[in-house]
A and B are shown apart, each in its own frame.
Chain A
Amino acid sequence: MISTHTATVTLPTDEQILITREFDAPAHLLWRAVTEPDLVKRWWGAERGQVDLVEIDLRVGGQWRYVMTAAGSDVEVGFHGEFYEIVEHERIVQTEVFEGFPDAHSVNTMTLVEADGRTTLTTLVQHQAKAHRDMQIDSGMEAGMQESFDALERVAAALR
């Protein structure tokens, strides 16, 4: 049985985004799901595209890169960064650059806290500027709108 948890997004400061979610699984399995490329490929694209590439060199100073093709287009979207800190089953600190806007990078801290076999995953995204933070949230809005358009299109097609 899969429970329906909700991701909570808050904005603790002007430059930050905090994403929190509880999972019905122990921390060591979440660790695998967020660090093993074949597993990341299965969830990171969400409903928004095909994940073409996941490279993870999981060591301090190692690089990571994800590339996906946005659904219904051939636009490739890439993200990459470097690992600053790795504490197995507990914590990863890494930089993230959205390749469409390479001037900005954020420092993301992922934390896993397990209790009674359930694990809370938090990701704190620290941007250098409010404008960059806002841009990242806006991108979610644009993707959301794209989904709405897609849904509208399906409805319209069904009416033909």
Chain B
Amino acid sequence: MARAATTTDAFNAIAEPRRREILDVLVGGERPVNDLVSALGLTQPQVSKHLRVLREAGVVDVRDQGRQRLYRLNGTALRPVHDWVADYARLWDERYARLDDVLEDLKRDEQGDGGR
């Protein structure tokens, strides 16, 4: 089953590691571009280019405050990405919940044998 085409932009936008770094910074709240430049250690034009891709995908919003432009995360646009991976993550949650039970049994057996 393929993903809905409408989510493609968001997936492409976060496919690039530096763009994911920008999102990681913005998780902490709104930031002016200078903060992102210093956090990523890239040049301002490079950061601006990444921000443009993120804005076009709707993953990042921008607003003017005085002379500053503030960038912030738009969580709604990232929702499809999260949901897509969440179902796969649930499979592992189920598996590992059972693995917890197996480990509890192994721990009990070991204690019964006086440990290793």
Contact = CB atoms under 8 A, between A and B. Distances in A.
**Do A and B share a complex?**
yes
Contacts of B87: 137, 140-141, 143-145
A23 B94 contact: no
B15 interface: yes
Chain B binding surface SS class: helix
Nearest to A140: B88
A59 interface: no
Interface residues of A, number: 44
Interface of B: 1-3, 15, 17, 84-85, 87-104, 106-107, 110, 116
Nearest to B88: A140
B109 to A, nearest CB: 9
Interface of A: 2-14, 17, 19, 21, 23-25, 28-30, 32-34, 39, 42-48, 134, 136-145
28 contacts: A2-B100, A3-B100, A4-B97, A7-B95, A8-B89, A9-B85, A12-B17, A13-B17, A14-B15, A17-B88, A19-B92, A21-B96, A28-B116, A33-B99, A33-B102, A33-B103, A33-B106, A39-B106, A43-B102, A45-B95, A137-B87, A138-B2, A139-B88, A140-B88, A140-B90, A141-B1, A143-B87, A144-B88
